[in-house]
């Protein structure tokens, strides 16, 4: 390593985050980068550890440990420390098509598996990655890479989320001609409409799409394959097809009063806010607004947190986040050792902001909805909630309602952020691919090929709801398999 003692000499120092009160006044990203010299110090903390679990990316006890893309983290940290910025960028792009996305929205699985983090704070891997890619754009290192030779093969990618974009980018660089179909009005899938602007500003996506267009990728928006254009036309007109439509079917909450007006799925709420911001320059008055309302978010995950942050910016009257599971411990439990993913309580940006504005953490644990209550016009006015306890049954924890623990709380806007249960079946049906019991497209283990000739799949549509970084991995894997299918071999 460039500075073997760096982890002993320097403490972890991350980018400065604007205070909650300041950042809720706008919809932009709110972290201030470190100086170049300070960033080099942070890179020097990467140890010559011998076994870099950070880039392992394996499943341990049902959760991923380390980077699913197998990013060459110790290598580009070393190059960053030594001021070899262009070489660091080259090593980063060898494994990651879109570091500008992952360095903003990834939960940093790499840092959770950092050796330095066992007895100290982990290396600022995610921020170092962001510095390398943004420095690459700033200094002009990133230029269109137009293939010198085209294979004559045409690939259709259905869906422009991270998996579809990664597959398209990889196959285009290989020399194939790629067309990406997107049913929405903008390219990006969940990157565009599922992630709020304060986590990922949309010009970052547009910058990458413009680059891919210059490199030869064709994008077609407002085309819903399976409805606007038949699958048969795609199959006949292209040499291979990759289905990367995501896991877009939200899990519902089916209790009494569900038909009340004022109950929306989180993805619809977040989409409305982003569309209003991009179309009108103001996300506070979107089609589904939290302004002046008591908001309850059902679901304690990242999407639920994004809803909380959005509702606060829209000037809601109050916000509560219901979490069915118990609160996780603040530190690793004895049965959750390194390098397993740490099952600990995380307070994210939206929860910090709600706490600052309303005086308390918005999360209520071991609680679920018993009933939606509406007025005589059918408008939502309150939720009846109930506490839960968990009992063991056949080795599984089963939630049981605690009798007499019901409580009614005011609510005019309820957002369901309870995850997703698979892909929209009409696309799968149109191409004749088989669906698993989890609502995903069926393939053999370790493969992205479906049972239909020349049809492949990638991302959440294949593995179920997951992370952006895993979607990119899926897209790259599908690209390699398609390339081999078309050419008889692959060097992807």
- Domain segments of the chain: what residues? 6-138, 154-248+421-487, 263-416
In three-state form (DSSP H/G/I as H, E/B as E, the rest C), the secondary structure along 69-109 is CCCCHHHHHHHHHCCCHHHHHHHHHCCCCCHHHHHHHCCCH
CA angle 268, 273, 275 (to 5 degrees): 90
State yes or no: pLDDT of 210 exceeds 90: yes
pLDDT classification of 285: cutoffs 50, 70, 90: confident
Same fold for the domain at 6-138 and the one at 263-416? no
The whole-angstrom distance between residue 388's C-alpha and the CA centroid of its chain comes to: 29
- Strands in 240-243's sheet, in edge-to-edge order, are 218-220, 177-181, 154-158, 240-243, 455-457
Instruction: Report which secondary-structure segment, H or E, holds 243.
Output: strand 240-243
Is 284:260 a contact under the CB 8 Å cutoff?
A: no
169 closest CA partner among 443, 444, 487, 482: 482
Give the homologous superfamily in CATH for domain 6-138.
Alpha-helical ferredoxin (1.10.1060.10)
- Residue 237, helix vs strand vs coil: helix
Give percent of the chain with pLDDT exceeding 70. Answer: 100
Residues 6+ apart with CB under 8 A from 1: 44, 46, 47, 48, 74, 77, 78, 81
113 closest CA partner among 176, 62, 49: 49
The whole-angstrom distance between residue 186's C-alpha and the CA centroid of its chain comes to: 17
- Residue 86 has a CB neighbour count (10 Å cut-off) of 13
Total residues belonging to the chain: 492
Question: 154-248+421-487 is classed in which CATH architecture?
Answer: 3-Layer(bba) Sandwich (3.50)
- Residue 262 has a CB neighbour count (10 Å cut-off) of 18
pLDDT in tens, 5-46: 999 999 999 999 999 999 999 999 999 999 999 999 999 999
What is the model's pTM?
A: 0.96
Q: Give 187: exposed, middle or buried? Use CB within 10 Å, 0-12, 13-18, 19+.
A: buried
pLDDT in tens, 129-186: 999 999 999 999 999 999 999 999 999 999 999 999 999 999 999 999 999 999 999 9
Give the homologous superfamily in CATH for domain 263-416.
FAD/NAD(P)-binding domain (3.50.50.60)
pLDDT on residue 286: 87
Which residues is 181 bridged to in the sheet? Answer: 158, 220
pLDDT in tens, 63-84: 999 999 999 999 999 999 999 9
Distance CA 161, CA 474 (A): 11
Distance CA 211, CA 213 (A): 5
Is 422:438 a contact under the CB 8 Å cutoff?
A: yes
Is 191:468 a contact under the CB 8 Å cutoff?
A: yes
Q: Give 133: exposed, middle or buried? Use CB within 10 Å, 0-12, 13-18, 19+.
A: buried
State yes or no: pLDDT of 196 exceeds 80: yes
Which residues is 95 bridged to in the sheet? Answer: none
State yes or no: pLDDT of 1 exceeds 80: no
pLDDT classification of 410: cutoffs 50, 70, 90: very high
Distance CA 163, CA 474 (A): 6
pLDDT in tens, 212-236: 999 999 999 999 999 999 999 999 9
The string of DSSP codes covering 400-445 is EE-TT--EEEE-SEEEE---B----HHHHHHHT--B-TTSSB---T
């Amino acid at each position: 390593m460039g500075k073997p003692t760096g982890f002993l000499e320097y403490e972890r120092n991350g980018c400065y985050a604007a205070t909650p009160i300041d950042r809720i006044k706008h919809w932009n990203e709110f972290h201030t980068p470190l100086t170049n010299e300070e960033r080099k110090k942070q890179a020097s903390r990467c140890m010559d550890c011998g076994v870099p679990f950070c880039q392992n990316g394996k499943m341990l006890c049902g959760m991923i440990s380390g980077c699913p893309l197998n990013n060459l983290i110790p290598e580009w940290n070393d190059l960053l420390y030594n001021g070899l910025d262009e070489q660091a960028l080259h090593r980063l792009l060898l494994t990651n098509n879109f570091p500008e996305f992952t360095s903003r929205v990834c939960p940093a699985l790499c840092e959770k598996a950092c050796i330095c983090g066992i007895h100290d704070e982990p290396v600022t891997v995610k921020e170092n990655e962001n510095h390398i890619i943004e420095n690459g754009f700033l200094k002009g290192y990133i230029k269109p890479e137009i293939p010198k030779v085209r294979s004559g093969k045409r690939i259709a990618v259905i869906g422009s989320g991270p998996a579809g974009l990664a597959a398209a980018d990889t196959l285009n660089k290989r020399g194939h001609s790629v067309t990406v179909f997107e049913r929405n009005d903008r390219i990006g899938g969940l990157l565009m409409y599922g992630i709020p602007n304060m986590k990922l500003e949309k010009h970052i996506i547009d910058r990458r799409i413009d680059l891919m267009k210059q490199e030869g990728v064709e994008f077609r928006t407002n085309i819903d394959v399976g409805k606007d254009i038949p699958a048969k036309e795609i199959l006949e007109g292209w040499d291979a097809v990759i289905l990367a439509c995501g896991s877009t079917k939200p899990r519902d909450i089916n209790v009494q009063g569900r038909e009340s007006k004022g109950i929306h799925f989180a993805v619809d709420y977040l989409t409305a806010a982003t569309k209003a911001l991009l179309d009108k320059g103001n996300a506070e008055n979107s089609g589904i607004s939290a302004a002046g309302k008591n908001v309850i978010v059902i679901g304690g995950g990242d999407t639920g947190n994004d809803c909380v942050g959005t509702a606060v910016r829209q000037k809601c009257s109050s916000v509560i986040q219901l979490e069915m599971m118990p609160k996780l411990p603040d530190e690793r439990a004895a049965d959750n050792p390194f390098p397993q993913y740490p099952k600990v309580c995380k307070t994210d940006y939206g929860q910090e902001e709600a706490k600052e504005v309303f005086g308390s953490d918005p999360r209520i644990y071991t609680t679920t909805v018993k009933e939606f209550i509406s007025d005589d016009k059918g408008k939502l006015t309150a939720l009846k909630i109930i506490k839960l306890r968990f009992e063991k049954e056949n080795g599984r924890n089963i939630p049981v309602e605690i009798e007499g623990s019901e409580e009614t709380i005011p609510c005019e806007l309820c957002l369901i952020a309870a995850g997703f249960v698979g892909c929209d079946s009409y696309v799968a049906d149109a191409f004749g691919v088989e669906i698993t019991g989890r609502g995903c497209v069926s393939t053999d283990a370790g493969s992205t090929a479906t049972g239909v000739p020349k049809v492949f799949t990638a991302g959440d549509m294949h593995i179920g709801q997951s992370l952006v970084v895993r979607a990119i991995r899926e897209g790259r894997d599908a690209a390699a398999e398609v390339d081999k299918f078309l050419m008889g071999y692959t060097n992807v």
